[in-house]
Structure 1
Protein backbone atom coordinates (compact mmCIF):
# COMPACT_ATOMS: atom_id res chain seq x y z
CA UNK A 1 0.00 0.00 0.00
CA UNK A 2 2.81 2.42 0.80
CA UNK A 3 4.23 1.95 -2.69
CA UNK A 4 0.82 2.64 -4.21
CA UNK A 5 0.27 5.78 -2.17
CA UNK A 6 3.73 7.12 -2.98
CA UNK A 7 3.23 6.77 -6.74
CA UNK A 8 3.53 10.20 -8.37
CA UNK A 9 1.24 9.84 -11.37
CA UNK A 10 -0.84 13.00 -10.96
CA UNK A 11 0.14 16.25 -12.66
CA UNK A 12 -2.35 18.56 -10.97
CA UNK A 13 -5.76 18.85 -9.29
CA UNK A 14 -8.67 21.09 -10.22
CA UNK A 15 -10.46 21.37 -6.85
CA UNK A 16 -13.94 22.15 -8.15
CA UNK A 17 -15.96 21.84 -11.34
CA UNK A 18 -19.64 21.89 -12.28
CA UNK A 19 -18.95 21.19 -15.95
CA UNK A 20 -17.00 17.94 -16.15
CA UNK A 21 -19.29 15.46 -14.40
CA UNK A 22 -22.95 15.66 -15.47
CA UNK A 23 -25.19 16.78 -12.62
CA UNK A 24 -22.42 16.41 -10.03
CA UNK A 25 -20.10 18.67 -8.10
CA UNK A 26 -16.63 17.27 -8.64
CA UNK A 27 -12.91 17.77 -8.74
CA UNK A 28 -10.57 16.75 -11.56
CA UNK A 29 -7.45 14.66 -11.06
CA UNK A 30 -5.15 15.22 -14.03
CA UNK A 31 -2.89 12.24 -14.75
CA UNK A 32 0.45 12.91 -16.41
CA UNK A 33 1.38 11.15 -19.61
CA UNK A 34 -0.52 9.79 -22.59
CA UNK A 35 -0.05 7.10 -25.21
CA UNK A 36 -1.43 9.36 -27.94
CA UNK A 37 -0.12 12.64 -29.32
CA UNK A 38 -3.28 14.23 -30.68
CA UNK A 39 -2.47 17.22 -32.85
CA UNK A 40 -5.11 19.40 -31.18
CA UNK A 41 -4.36 18.40 -27.57
CA UNK A 42 -4.96 21.29 -25.17
CA UNK A 43 -2.86 19.75 -22.38
CA UNK A 44 0.68 19.49 -23.79
CA UNK A 45 2.25 20.09 -20.36
CA UNK A 46 0.24 17.20 -18.90
CA UNK A 47 0.75 14.84 -21.84
CA UNK A 48 4.50 15.44 -22.04
CA UNK A 49 5.08 16.05 -18.34
CA UNK A 50 5.73 13.82 -15.38
CA UNK A 51 3.64 13.29 -12.28
CA UNK A 52 4.16 15.77 -9.47
CA UNK A 53 1.62 14.61 -6.89
CA UNK A 54 1.43 11.21 -5.20
CA UNK A 55 -1.76 9.29 -4.56
CA UNK A 56 -1.49 9.80 -0.80
CA UNK A 57 -1.64 13.57 -1.30
CA UNK A 58 -4.66 13.20 -3.60
CA UNK A 59 -6.48 11.02 -1.06
CA UNK A 60 -5.72 13.51 1.73
CA UNK A 61 -7.25 16.23 -0.45
CA UNK A 62 -10.31 14.08 -1.15
CA UNK A 63 -10.85 13.35 2.54
CA UNK A 64 -11.03 17.11 3.08
CA UNK A 65 -13.78 17.31 0.41
CA UNK A 66 -16.09 14.62 1.80
CA UNK A 67 -19.58 16.07 2.03
CA UNK A 68 -18.61 18.96 -0.24
CA UNK A 69 -18.13 17.12 -3.54
CA UNK A 70 -20.17 14.36 -5.13
CA UNK A 71 -17.58 12.94 -7.45
CA UNK A 72 -14.07 12.70 -8.82
CA UNK A 73 -13.11 12.98 -12.48
CA UNK A 74 -9.96 11.14 -13.53
CA UNK A 75 -8.58 12.79 -16.65
CA UNK A 76 -5.27 13.60 -18.26
CA UNK A 77 -3.35 12.58 -20.24
CA UNK A 78 -4.70 9.06 -20.08
CA UNK A 79 -5.62 7.82 -16.64
CA UNK A 80 -6.03 4.15 -17.60
CA UNK A 81 -2.37 3.77 -18.62
CA UNK A 82 -1.17 4.04 -15.01
CA UNK A 83 -0.50 0.66 -13.42
CA UNK A 84 -1.95 1.53 -9.99
CA UNK A 85 -5.15 3.12 -11.29
CA UNK A 86 -7.40 0.28 -10.11
CA UNK A 87 -6.30 0.20 -6.44
CA UNK A 88 -6.27 4.01 -6.46
CA UNK A 89 -9.91 4.14 -7.60
CA UNK A 90 -10.78 1.59 -4.93
CA UNK A 91 -9.43 4.05 -2.35
CA UNK A 92 -11.50 6.86 -3.86
CA UNK A 93 -14.66 4.76 -3.87
CA UNK A 94 -14.04 3.80 -0.24
CA UNK A 95 -14.30 7.50 0.59
CA UNK A 96 -17.83 7.55 -0.84
CA UNK A 97 -17.26 9.45 -4.11
CA UNK A 98 -18.71 8.56 -7.48
CA UNK A 99 -16.02 8.29 -10.17
CA UNK A 100 -15.94 9.40 -13.80
CA UNK A 101 -13.07 8.63 -16.14
CA UNK A 102 -12.11 10.46 -19.31
CA UNK A 103 -10.41 7.99 -21.64
CA UNK A 104 -9.23 7.50 -25.19
CA UNK A 105 -10.21 3.85 -24.89
CA UNK A 106 -6.70 2.53 -25.45
CA UNK A 107 -6.68 0.15 -22.46
CA UNK A 108 -9.82 -2.00 -22.82
CA UNK A 109 -8.58 -4.63 -20.34
CA UNK A 110 -8.30 -1.98 -17.63
CA UNK A 111 -11.72 -0.61 -18.55
CA UNK A 112 -13.17 -4.11 -18.43
CA UNK A 113 -11.85 -4.65 -14.91
CA UNK A 114 -13.15 -1.27 -13.75
CA UNK A 115 -16.58 -2.16 -15.09
CA UNK A 116 -16.57 -5.68 -13.67
CA UNK A 117 -15.58 -4.46 -10.21
CA UNK A 118 -18.09 -1.57 -10.35
CA UNK A 119 -15.39 1.00 -9.69
CA UNK A 120 -16.59 3.65 -12.15
CA UNK A 121 -19.93 5.43 -12.44
CA UNK A 122 -19.59 7.40 -15.68
CA UNK A 123 -17.27 7.30 -18.68
CA UNK A 124 -16.42 9.86 -21.36
CA UNK A 125 -14.96 8.01 -24.35
CA UNK A 126 -13.04 10.00 -26.97
CA UNK A 127 -13.91 9.12 -30.57
CA UNK A 128 -10.91 10.64 -32.34
CA UNK A 129 -11.78 9.70 -35.91
CA UNK A 130 -12.36 6.76 -38.21
CA UNK A 131 -9.35 4.51 -39.03
CA UNK A 132 -8.30 6.41 -42.16
CA UNK A 133 -7.41 9.54 -40.15
CA UNK A 134 -6.79 8.01 -36.74
CA UNK A 135 -3.02 7.62 -36.98
CA UNK A 136 -2.59 11.10 -38.47
CA UNK A 137 -4.58 12.74 -35.69
CA UNK A 138 -3.39 10.69 -32.70
CA UNK A 139 0.10 9.56 -33.81
CA UNK A 140 -0.93 6.08 -32.66
CA UNK A 141 -2.34 2.83 -34.01
CA UNK A 142 -4.91 2.25 -31.31
CA UNK A 143 -8.23 2.33 -33.16
CA UNK A 144 -8.95 -1.36 -32.54
CA UNK A 145 -8.44 -0.78 -28.80
CA UNK A 146 -10.90 2.12 -28.98
CA UNK A 147 -13.42 -0.16 -30.68
CA UNK A 148 -12.99 -2.78 -27.98
CA UNK A 149 -13.57 -0.21 -25.25
CA UNK A 150 -16.59 1.14 -27.13
CA UNK A 151 -18.03 -2.38 -27.29
CA UNK A 152 -17.49 -2.88 -23.56
CA UNK A 153 -19.35 0.33 -22.74
CA UNK A 154 -22.26 -0.46 -25.07
CA UNK A 155 -22.77 -3.71 -23.18
CA UNK A 156 -22.33 -2.25 -19.69
CA UNK A 157 -24.85 -0.64 -17.37
CA UNK A 158 -22.60 2.32 -16.56
CA UNK A 159 -23.71 5.52 -18.34
CA UNK A 160 -21.21 6.86 -20.87
CA UNK A 161 -20.86 9.52 -23.50
CA UNK A 162 -19.07 9.61 -26.85
CA UNK A 163 -17.24 12.82 -27.67
CA UNK A 164 -15.09 14.19 -30.49
CA UNK A 165 -12.86 17.21 -30.91
CA UNK A 166 -13.51 18.66 -34.36
CA UNK A 167 -10.95 20.57 -36.42
CA UNK A 168 -11.98 21.30 -39.99
CA UNK A 169 -8.51 20.57 -41.40
CA UNK A 170 -8.31 17.19 -39.66
CA UNK A 171 -11.90 15.97 -40.09
CA UNK A 172 -13.87 17.10 -43.12
CA UNK A 173 -17.62 17.53 -42.98
CA UNK A 174 -17.99 14.37 -45.09
CA UNK A 175 -15.71 12.44 -42.72
CA UNK A 176 -17.69 13.70 -39.75
CA UNK A 177 -20.92 12.46 -41.35
CA UNK A 178 -19.25 9.05 -41.78
CA UNK A 179 -18.35 9.06 -38.08
CA UNK A 180 -22.03 9.46 -37.23
CA UNK A 181 -22.91 6.64 -39.62
CA UNK A 182 -20.27 4.50 -37.95
CA UNK A 183 -21.87 5.11 -34.55
CA UNK A 184 -25.23 4.06 -35.98
CA UNK A 185 -23.77 0.86 -37.45
CA UNK A 186 -22.38 0.11 -33.99
CA UNK A 187 -25.93 0.41 -32.61
CA UNK A 188 -25.09 3.47 -30.54
CA UNK A 189 -28.06 5.58 -29.51
CA UNK A 190 -28.09 8.81 -27.53
CA UNK A 191 -26.08 12.01 -27.35
CA UNK A 192 -22.90 12.49 -29.36
CA UNK A 193 -20.95 15.45 -28.02
CA UNK A 194 -18.70 17.44 -30.33
CA UNK A 195 -16.22 19.96 -29.01
CA UNK A 196 -15.10 22.38 -31.68
CA UNK A 197 -11.41 23.16 -31.69
CA UNK A 198 -10.73 26.42 -29.87
CA UNK A 199 -8.69 28.67 -32.12
CA UNK A 200 -5.71 30.64 -30.83
CA UNK A 201 -4.87 28.45 -27.84
CA UNK A 202 -1.70 26.51 -27.05
CA UNK A 203 -1.84 22.93 -28.33
CA UNK A 204 0.55 20.01 -28.71
CA UNK A 205 1.09 20.82 -32.40
CA UNK A 206 0.65 24.17 -34.07
CA UNK A 207 -2.53 24.13 -36.13
CA UNK A 208 -4.20 26.71 -38.33
CA UNK A 209 -7.57 28.04 -37.24
CA UNK A 210 -10.53 25.74 -37.71
CA UNK A 211 -13.63 26.73 -39.64
CA UNK A 212 -16.51 26.76 -37.15
CA UNK A 213 -19.41 26.78 -39.62
CA UNK A 214 -20.18 23.13 -38.94
CA UNK A 215 -21.71 24.15 -35.60
CA UNK A 216 -24.68 25.70 -37.41
CA UNK A 217 -25.66 22.51 -39.21
CA UNK A 218 -27.90 19.75 -37.96
CA UNK A 219 -26.27 16.30 -38.06
CA UNK A 220 -28.65 14.54 -35.69
CA UNK A 221 -30.38 11.35 -36.78
CA UNK A 222 -33.36 9.43 -35.45
CA UNK A 223 -31.03 7.60 -33.03
CA UNK A 224 -28.19 10.03 -32.41
CA UNK A 225 -28.42 13.61 -31.18
CA UNK A 226 -25.32 15.57 -32.17
CA UNK A 227 -24.60 18.27 -29.61
CA UNK A 228 -21.92 20.90 -30.18
CA UNK A 229 -20.28 22.00 -26.96
CA UNK A 230 -18.53 25.30 -26.59
Structure 2
Protein backbone atom coordinates (compact mmCIF):
# COMPACT_ATOMS: atom_id res chain seq x y z
CA UNK A 1 0.00 0.00 0.00
CA UNK A 2 1.38 3.40 -1.03
CA UNK A 3 1.87 5.73 1.92
CA UNK A 4 2.28 9.31 0.67
CA UNK A 5 1.97 11.13 4.00
CA UNK A 6 4.93 11.49 6.32
CA UNK A 7 3.07 12.85 9.33
CA UNK A 8 -0.13 14.53 10.49
CA UNK A 9 -0.50 17.61 12.67
CA UNK A 10 -3.91 17.11 14.27
CA UNK A 11 -4.65 20.75 15.13
CA UNK A 12 -3.42 24.20 14.18
CA UNK A 13 -4.79 27.73 14.42
CA UNK A 14 -1.82 29.22 12.59
CA UNK A 15 -1.57 27.51 9.23
CA UNK A 16 -4.98 28.18 7.70
CA UNK A 17 -6.01 31.82 8.20
CA UNK A 18 -9.32 31.99 10.03
CA UNK A 19 -9.97 28.27 10.40
CA UNK A 20 -9.05 25.54 12.88
CA UNK A 21 -7.29 22.96 10.76
CA UNK A 22 -5.03 19.95 10.55
CA UNK A 23 -1.95 19.47 8.37
CA UNK A 24 -1.13 16.46 6.22
CA UNK A 25 2.61 16.49 5.49
CA UNK A 26 3.43 14.73 2.23
CA UNK A 27 6.82 13.06 1.95
CA UNK A 28 9.34 14.08 -0.69
CA UNK A 29 10.11 17.21 -2.64
CA UNK A 30 11.54 18.17 -6.02
CA UNK A 31 13.58 20.99 -4.50
CA UNK A 32 16.50 20.97 -2.09
CA UNK A 33 16.19 24.44 -0.59
CA UNK A 34 19.28 25.20 1.47
CA UNK A 35 17.26 26.61 4.38
CA UNK A 36 14.62 23.85 4.48
CA UNK A 37 13.91 22.88 8.09
CA UNK A 38 11.89 19.80 7.15
CA UNK A 39 14.72 17.56 5.90
CA UNK A 40 13.13 14.46 7.43
CA UNK A 41 9.96 15.07 5.40
CA UNK A 42 11.78 16.04 2.20
CA UNK A 43 14.13 13.04 2.30
CA UNK A 44 11.89 10.61 4.16
CA UNK A 45 9.24 8.11 3.18
CA UNK A 46 5.54 8.20 3.87
CA UNK A 47 4.09 6.55 6.97
CA UNK A 48 0.35 7.05 6.43
CA UNK A 49 -1.80 5.77 3.57
CA UNK A 50 -4.75 7.48 1.90
CA UNK A 51 -7.05 5.28 3.99
CA UNK A 52 -5.24 6.34 7.16
CA UNK A 53 -5.77 9.97 6.18
CA UNK A 54 -9.42 9.35 5.35
CA UNK A 55 -9.98 7.76 8.74
CA UNK A 56 -8.28 10.67 10.47
CA UNK A 57 -10.27 13.31 8.60
CA UNK A 58 -13.48 11.43 9.31
CA UNK A 59 -12.69 11.36 13.02
CA UNK A 60 -11.96 15.12 13.16
CA UNK A 61 -14.67 16.57 10.96
CA UNK A 62 -16.76 17.81 13.90
CA UNK A 63 -13.73 19.61 15.38
CA UNK A 64 -11.99 21.12 12.36
CA UNK A 65 -12.97 23.29 9.43
CA UNK A 66 -9.88 23.09 7.25
CA UNK A 67 -7.18 20.75 6.07
CA UNK A 68 -3.75 21.91 4.91
CA UNK A 69 -1.90 19.81 2.38
CA UNK A 70 1.79 20.54 2.83
CA UNK A 71 5.17 18.87 2.68
CA UNK A 72 7.64 18.35 1.20
CA UNK A 73 5.69 19.10 -1.90
CA UNK A 74 2.16 17.76 -1.83
CA UNK A 75 1.38 18.48 -5.49
CA UNK A 76 3.87 15.82 -6.61
CA UNK A 77 1.59 13.05 -5.33
CA UNK A 78 -1.17 11.65 -7.55
CA UNK A 79 -3.08 10.81 -4.36
CA UNK A 80 -3.45 14.53 -3.55
CA UNK A 81 -6.47 14.83 -5.85
CA UNK A 82 -8.14 11.82 -4.25
CA UNK A 83 -7.49 13.12 -0.74
CA UNK A 84 -8.81 16.54 -1.70
CA UNK A 85 -12.02 14.92 -2.97
CA UNK A 86 -12.33 13.00 0.27
CA UNK A 87 -11.72 16.13 2.37
CA UNK A 88 -14.25 18.15 0.40
CA UNK A 89 -16.87 15.41 0.70
CA UNK A 90 -16.36 15.55 4.47
CA UNK A 91 -16.97 19.31 4.45
CA UNK A 92 -13.42 20.60 4.87
CA UNK A 93 -11.99 23.76 3.38
CA UNK A 94 -8.75 22.98 1.57
CA UNK A 95 -5.48 24.90 1.67
CA UNK A 96 -2.43 23.85 -0.35
CA UNK A 97 1.13 24.84 0.52
CA UNK A 98 3.22 24.61 -2.64
CA UNK A 99 6.48 25.57 -4.28
CA UNK A 100 4.55 26.12 -7.50
CA UNK A 101 6.26 23.48 -9.61
CA UNK A 102 3.02 21.68 -10.54
CA UNK A 103 0.61 24.33 -11.87
CA UNK A 104 -1.40 21.68 -13.74
CA UNK A 105 -2.24 20.01 -10.43
CA UNK A 106 -3.34 23.33 -8.94
CA UNK A 107 -5.52 23.90 -11.99
CA UNK A 108 -7.16 20.49 -11.66
CA UNK A 109 -7.88 21.09 -7.99
CA UNK A 110 -9.42 24.48 -8.80
CA UNK A 111 -11.42 23.19 -11.75
CA UNK A 112 -12.90 20.43 -9.56
CA UNK A 113 -13.80 22.83 -6.77
CA UNK A 114 -11.22 21.28 -4.45
CA UNK A 115 -9.16 24.35 -3.65
CA UNK A 116 -10.02 27.18 -1.27
CA UNK A 117 -6.66 28.77 -0.50
CA UNK A 118 -3.05 28.53 -1.69
CA UNK A 119 0.21 29.50 -0.03
CA UNK A 120 2.75 29.91 -2.83
CA UNK A 121 6.46 29.96 -2.03
CA UNK A 122 8.50 32.63 -3.82
CA UNK A 123 11.99 31.25 -3.33
CA UNK A 124 14.00 34.07 -4.82
CA UNK A 125 14.76 36.19 -7.84
CA UNK A 126 15.13 34.40 -11.16
CA UNK A 127 18.89 34.92 -10.92
CA UNK A 128 19.16 33.26 -7.49
CA UNK A 129 16.38 30.69 -7.75
CA UNK A 130 18.63 27.77 -8.67
CA UNK A 131 21.25 28.60 -6.05
CA UNK A 132 18.59 28.52 -3.32
CA UNK A 133 16.45 25.58 -4.50
CA UNK A 134 18.98 23.52 -6.49
CA UNK A 135 16.30 23.27 -9.18
CA UNK A 136 15.52 25.02 -12.45
CA UNK A 137 11.85 25.65 -11.81
CA UNK A 138 11.39 29.42 -11.82
CA UNK A 139 9.22 29.16 -14.95
CA UNK A 140 6.73 26.86 -13.22
CA UNK A 141 6.53 29.25 -10.27
CA UNK A 142 5.59 31.97 -12.75
CA UNK A 143 2.97 29.68 -14.30
CA UNK A 144 1.47 28.96 -10.88
CA UNK A 145 1.39 32.63 -9.93
CA UNK A 146 -0.27 33.41 -13.27
CA UNK A 147 -2.86 30.69 -12.67
CA UNK A 148 -3.71 32.09 -9.24
CA UNK A 149 -3.99 35.62 -10.63
CA UNK A 150 -6.00 34.68 -13.71
CA UNK A 151 -8.58 32.71 -11.73
CA UNK A 152 -8.65 35.01 -8.67
CA UNK A 153 -7.83 32.04 -6.44
CA UNK A 154 -7.52 33.13 -2.79
CA UNK A 155 -3.83 32.97 -2.00
CA UNK A 156 -0.79 34.35 -0.29
CA UNK A 157 2.80 34.60 -1.46
CA UNK A 158 5.57 33.93 1.04
CA UNK A 159 9.36 33.89 1.18
CA UNK A 160 11.87 32.51 3.67
CA UNK A 161 14.65 35.04 4.11
CA UNK A 162 18.28 34.47 5.01
CA UNK A 163 20.53 37.49 4.58
CA UNK A 164 23.30 35.41 2.98
CA UNK A 165 20.92 34.09 0.30
CA UNK A 166 18.79 37.13 -0.51
CA UNK A 167 19.92 40.72 -0.14
CA UNK A 168 17.64 43.61 0.72
CA UNK A 169 17.96 44.63 -2.93
CA UNK A 170 16.76 41.16 -3.92
CA UNK A 171 13.72 41.56 -1.72
CA UNK A 172 12.98 44.92 -3.31
CA UNK A 173 13.22 43.26 -6.71
CA UNK A 174 10.88 40.46 -5.65
CA UNK A 175 8.22 42.89 -4.45
CA UNK A 176 8.55 44.81 -7.70
CA UNK A 177 8.25 41.57 -9.67
CA UNK A 178 5.05 40.61 -7.87
CA UNK A 179 3.60 44.05 -8.45
CA UNK A 180 4.45 43.89 -12.15
CA UNK A 181 2.69 40.52 -12.35
CA UNK A 182 -0.45 42.10 -10.92
CA UNK A 183 -0.27 40.59 -7.45
CA UNK A 184 -2.11 42.52 -4.75
CA UNK A 185 -2.45 41.84 -1.05
CA UNK A 186 -0.14 40.52 1.62
CA UNK A 187 3.36 39.22 0.98
CA UNK A 188 4.63 37.25 3.96
CA UNK A 189 8.30 36.98 4.84
CA UNK A 190 9.46 34.50 7.42
CA UNK A 191 12.98 34.74 8.82
CA UNK A 192 15.32 31.78 8.62
CA UNK A 193 15.21 29.73 11.80
CA UNK A 194 18.61 29.71 13.45
CA UNK A 195 19.57 26.68 15.46
CA UNK A 196 17.42 24.10 13.70
CA UNK A 197 18.41 21.21 11.45
CA UNK A 198 18.29 22.21 7.79
CA UNK A 199 19.07 20.49 4.50
CA UNK A 200 22.30 22.46 4.21
CA UNK A 201 24.27 24.09 7.01
CA UNK A 202 23.86 27.84 6.89
CA UNK A 203 25.55 30.50 9.02
CA UNK A 204 23.71 32.21 11.84
CA UNK A 205 21.84 35.25 10.64
CA UNK A 206 20.29 38.07 12.63
CA UNK A 207 19.36 40.33 9.75
CA UNK A 208 16.03 42.12 9.76
CA UNK A 209 13.89 43.67 7.08
CA UNK A 210 11.73 46.78 7.22
CA UNK A 211 8.30 45.65 6.02
CA UNK A 212 7.02 49.21 5.75
CA UNK A 213 9.85 50.22 3.43
CA UNK A 214 9.37 47.09 1.29
CA UNK A 215 5.62 47.55 1.00
CA UNK A 216 3.97 49.32 -1.91
CA UNK A 217 0.55 50.77 -2.52
CA UNK A 218 -0.77 47.36 -3.63
CA UNK A 219 1.46 44.94 -1.72
CA UNK A 220 1.72 44.87 2.06
CA UNK A 221 4.79 43.08 3.31
CA UNK A 222 4.38 41.37 6.67
CA UNK A 223 6.93 39.55 8.78
CA UNK A 224 5.54 36.23 9.91
CA UNK A 225 7.00 35.24 13.25
CA UNK A 226 5.08 32.00 13.89
Does the pair score TM above 0.5? Answer: yes
Q: How does 1:30-179 map to 2 (within 5 A)?
A: 30-179=25-174
Runs of 4+ in 1 over 2 A off after TM superposition: 215-218
Q: Using the alignment, how far apart are the partners of 1:66 and 1:213 within structure 2?
A: 40
Question: For the Cα contact (< 8 Å) 2:211–2:222, is it kept in 1?
Answer: no
**Secondary structure of 2:120 counterpart:** strand
Residue 24 of structure 1 aligns with which residue?
19
Question: For the Cα contact (< 8 Å) 2:5–2:27, is it kept in 1?
Answer: yes
Q: Deviations over 1:157-185 (max 9, x none)?
A: 33100000000000001111000110111
Q: Deviation at 1:215?
A: 4.6
**Secondary structure of 2:94 counterpart:** strand
Q: Deviation at 1:229?
A: 0.8
Q: Using the alignment, how far apart are the partners of 1:46 and 1:179 within structure 2?
A: 28
The yes-or-no answer on 1:203 pairing with 2:198 is yes
Residue 189 of structure 2 aligns with which residue?
194
Q: Deviation at 1:217?
A: 5.8
Q: Deviation at 1:66?
A: 1.2
Q: Deviation at 1:10?
A: 0.2
Q: Deviations over 1:107-134 (max 9, x none)?
A: 0111111111110100000000111000
**Residues paired across the two proteins, number:** 225
Residue 15 of structure 1 aligns with which residue?
10
Q: Using the alignment, how far apart are the partners of 1:195 and 1:176 within structure 2?
A: 12
Q: Structure 2 vs 1, CA of residues 190 and 36 (structure 1 numbering), >3 Å: closer, same or farther?
A: same
Unaligned runs of 5+ in 2: none
**Secondary structure of 1:218 counterpart:** helix
The yes-or-no answer on 1:221 pairing with 2:210 is no
Q: Using the alignment, how far apart are the partners of 1:120 and 1:183 within structure 2?
A: 22
Q: Using the alignment, how far apart are the partners of 1:36 and 1:200 within structure 2?
A: 22
Unaligned runs of 5+ in 1: 1-5
Cα RMSD between the aligned structures?
1.1
